[in-house]
Structure 1
Amino acid sequence: MANGSTTTGTAPAPRPTGGATRRPALSPSRASDFKQCPLLYRFRAVDRLPETPTRAQVRGTLVHSVLERVFALDRAERTPDRARDLLRPTWSQLSEECPEWMELFDDAGSGDELAEWFRSAETLLDSYFALEDPRRLDPEACELHVETELGSGVLLRGYIDRLDVAPTGEIRVVDYKTGAAPRQIGEAKALFQMKFYAVVLWRLRGIVPRQLKLLYLRDGQELAYTPDEPELARFERTLEAIWQAILKAGRTGDFRPSPSKLCGWCSHQALCPSFGGTPPEYPGWPEPDPGEESLLDRAD
């Protein structure tokens, strides 16, 4: 399924029903958090501590949302100019849903900074069009909500940026990254996310995805990976082990910090024992759902 191949079928991206209590589930973002640092998982999934996003993170959400809208257009309309035209209307909608994001531009001189921020988003969109011609693609779904329960009872849940299905039935999972192509640690984290989706699709459809494709828009690079069934079976066992470790920590509240180079990007150092802080009192295992991913999670 090389660039430019035509896929068949269209489908809206289903959204979970708001307000319903759901079983705790494992998402790629939260599984990655626990692997990186169990205490980070607790802060995000159990304590639900607020985190102020960066402009780059919000820009990533904006670009993802624009690309979703691009694929909702007729093929002939999927052009760079049309994508740029969608930026500001899409931002208006997102900022209504998350008004706190506008606070990122409340300081003096933010008008010029906001204009520059939009230009940087346009650059990312141009980079996407240099990698693919969406007029030659017809995805089955964009921002697809997927959920499946493994035989062990572990519930997996997540959002796939784009799902392509070829006329011959092969599946390609495509994920947009608005940062630069990562080094070893970042690449492993990105492939972890993609293998998570591959396992979910394998269990839902009985088909191992033919290709997992990452598009890095900041530097115009792509990474393609072909999984096989034995590899996904091993990865499934890894996910089951992560979930059992989460449940064990959840029963006791023993979510220990795991210091690493990534601590420099953590929003919760002031509460982390590794930096002299004290976590809040453990509130107990959360309900309804520690597996849900935010808009920011789904973007990058």
Structure 2
Amino acid sequence: MPDTDTVTADPPPGAEVPRRRPALSPSRASDFKQCPLLYRFRAVDRLPEIPTKAQLRGTLVHSVLERLFSLPQADRTPPQAKELLAPAWEELSSERPEWIDLFDQEDPDAVTSWLSSAEQLVDTYFGLEDPRRLEPEACELHVEIELGSGVLLRGYVDRLDVAPTGEIRVVDYKTGAAPREIGEAKAMFQMKFYAVVLWRLRGVVPRQLKLMYLTDGQSLAYTPDEGELIRFERTLEAIWQAILKAGKTGDFRPNPSKLCAWCDHQALCPQYGGTPPPYPGWPEPDPGEESVLDRAD
């Protein structure tokens, strides 16, 4: 189905590619809330980060589930889904050959055993729902809208289900276990972000926001209301204004927390005795884009 919610289009061959306006994505907004300096490292400095095998597995499983829903309904079975794993990984790794380096090149079974762990997540998915009974409107849907305040919101929805009666369900796959308080709040922040974008695009408040955790087979469902989305929209506007203020001066301050233990950039963080690189100025064309790894947590 055409991506009707996307407000950008590919330019014709030979045409000059326009510079994309700075935008706010759920991942980058979450970064700034967690730690403004982390936001700077990722969105402004664009420092490289070494992905984990778990992140790669999440990316692979998301790709497989997207491909699964492109099959005829009757063919969306566990064996068919598992057959998609190897070709999906071959395609992903050919696009990003550096990912292969994460595996022990001396161990011929390293990739095979890792693919088996992805297969287990696919099995868990089928324990949560039967895709043969579903016909999503879109998978990996790119959505983008400018709010009345001028904030440009942009993101990717794992799956959008629309009932014959018009109710909208936003589905997001999580390849980790159901999170504790911090992780759950971060996941719900992401889902409310999508709810605001879809509400403003379509004029309909999503009936359900559903998180599916493929490690332990749990699902979390939430029903937002319009008043809540209005308040959350104001939160996003406030985050963007704070980002713009920091962007003018380069004053992105660290916010130490337990999550620092998983940060790739401790060596550059003043909180740990490091020195950030010289501030390069507000990035162009766009500090809001999400990577495939962002979308596959």
After TM superposition, the score normalised by the length of structure 2 is 0.95
Distance 1:277-1:156 versus aligned 2 partners, 3 A rule? same
Match of 1:7 in 2: none
Residue 235 of structure 1 aligns to a residue in which SS? helix
1:130 lines up with 2:131 in the alignment: no
2:19–2:284 CA contact under 8 A, matched in 1: yes
Residues of 2 paired with 1:283 and 1:129: CA distance? 47
Match of 1:193 in 2: 190
Match of 1:225 in 2: 222
Match of 1:65 in 2: 63
2:3–2:142 CA contact under 8 A, matched in 1: no
RMSD: 1.3
Instruction: Map residues 175-214 of structure 1 onto 2, 5 A cutoff.
Output: 175-214=172-211
Match of 1:266 in 2: 263
Residue 173 of structure 1 aligns to a residue in which SS? strand
Of the three residues 247, 250, 264, the one matched with 2:247 is: 250
Residue 234 of structure 1 aligns to a residue in which SS? helix
Match of 2:26 in 1: 28
Displacement of 1:20 in angstroms is 3.8
Q: Unaligned regions of 5+ residues in structure 2, if any? A: 12-16
Displacement of 1:16 in angstroms is 6.4
Match of 1:77 in 2: 75
After TM superposition, the score normalised by the length of structure 1 is 0.94
* Counterpart residue identity of residue 40, structure 1: L
Distance 1:16-1:293 versus aligned 2 partners, 3 A rule? farther
Residues of 2 paired with 1:149 and 1:282: CA distance? 28
* Counterpart residue identity of residue 103, structure 2: F
Residue 144 of structure 1 aligns to a residue in which SS? strand
* Counterpart residue identity of residue 263, structure 2: C
Residue 295 of structure 1 aligns to a residue in which SS? coil
Displacement of 1:113 in angstroms is 2.0
Match of 1:3 in 2: none
1:113 lines up with 2:110 in the alignment: yes
Q: Unaligned regions of 5+ residues in structure 1, if any? A: 1-9
1:168 lines up with 2:169 in the alignment: no
* Counterpart residue identity of residue 115, structure 1: T
1:141–1:164 CA contact under 8 A, matched in 2: yes
Residues of 2 paired with 1:206 and 1:58: CA distance? 35
Structure 1 ranges of 4+ moved more than 6 A: 13-16
Match of 2:98 in 1: 100
Aligned-residue sequence identity (percent) comes to 78
Residues of 2 paired with 1:146 and 1:12: CA distance? 8
Displacement of 1:106 in angstroms is 4.1
Residue 165 of structure 2 aligns to a residue in which SS? coil
Residues of 2 paired with 1:272 and 1:22: CA distance? 29
Deviations 1:66-100 (A, max 9, x none): 00000000001100000100001001110111111
Match of 2:14 in 1: none
Residues of 1 paired with 2:256 and 2:56: CA distance? 26
Displacement of 1:107 in angstroms is 3.9
Query: Aligned residue pairs: how many?
Result: 290
Match of 1:90 in 2: 88
2:36–2:255 CA contact under 8 A, matched in 1: yes
1:163–1:173 CA contact under 8 A, matched in 2: yes
Distance 1:254-1:220 versus aligned 2 partners, 3 A rule? same
Deviations 1:94-130 (A, max 9, x none): 0111111111114432x22211101100000000000
* Counterpart residue identity of residue 190, structure 1: A
